Amino acid sequence: MAGLIQATGGNYSARRPGMVCPHDLVWFDEAALAADAPAWALAVVAAGEPGVVRRAARHGISLPVGIRGADKRQRHGDQVAAKRVSSHLAPEAIDLDVLARPPRSERGGDVPALAALADIRHRLKGLSIVWGPTGAVGYELATGRAVAHRESDLDLVVRLPECCNDVLAALCEMAAAARQTYAIRCDIQLETPAGGVALADWAGEAGQMMVKSDTGPYLTANPWAVAA
């Protein structure tokens, strides 16, 4: 699947055919990892678990990926050749209907982030935006592996190629409601033409927002005032 690699310039706000973006899940065999990869990471991939595409410099023929282990201490960053990727899944392509089916439906009481997502997904539909779950919740829904827990955040990515204050305000209201109702942090990242921006930064009063780009973070007053 070498065609996955695109010269995107770090603009993932609007997905084009063949584009692989940060937060995407990618599947490959353990031999694709570096020779010095830890044994636990090799075991995770050998068991059929995916890697998560990281925000880092692209090298044309490889993808920056992260492997997640049993806890936060087990995190491994690597570069995987695009030709070794057998499949990939974007956050917005994750099947959210599994939230209503066992065993996910039975975990809502123990994992507030799952219950919160089941609640707000219907309201998000009304905003006509492209979005999807990331982090532990997205990983669990995509793989079936029960990695989310009671303290897990609800992480979402929203592709927003153009600034829309009404959508942004509605997202802020939903994030606040999720915190109040489920006592969790709802962390929404906006994919803008400049890069990834936290919704909380947009809603803040600092005047500038931190942008996460493939070449590192930087500050800007308007992440939408960037040529696509």
Q: Which residues are catalytic?
A: 153, 155
Sign of CA dihedral 170, 176, 179, 181: negative
Pick from 225, 155, 160, 170: which is nearest to 192 by CA?
160
For residues 88 and 82, is the Cβ–Cβ distance under 8 A?
no
Report whether the peptide linkage leading into residue 103 is cis, meaning its omega lies within 30 degrees of zero.
yes
CA–CA dist 138, 158 (Å, integer): 13
Q: How many helices (H) and strands (E) does the chain have?
A: 6, 11
**Of the candidates 23, 13, 53, the residue with the CA atom closest to the CA atom of residue 156:** 23
Could you give the CA distance from residue 70 to residue 142 in angstroms, rounded to a whole number? 17
φ and ψ at residue 165, rounded to 5 degrees: -65, -35
> Vertex 92, ends 156 and 149: CA angle to 5°?
45
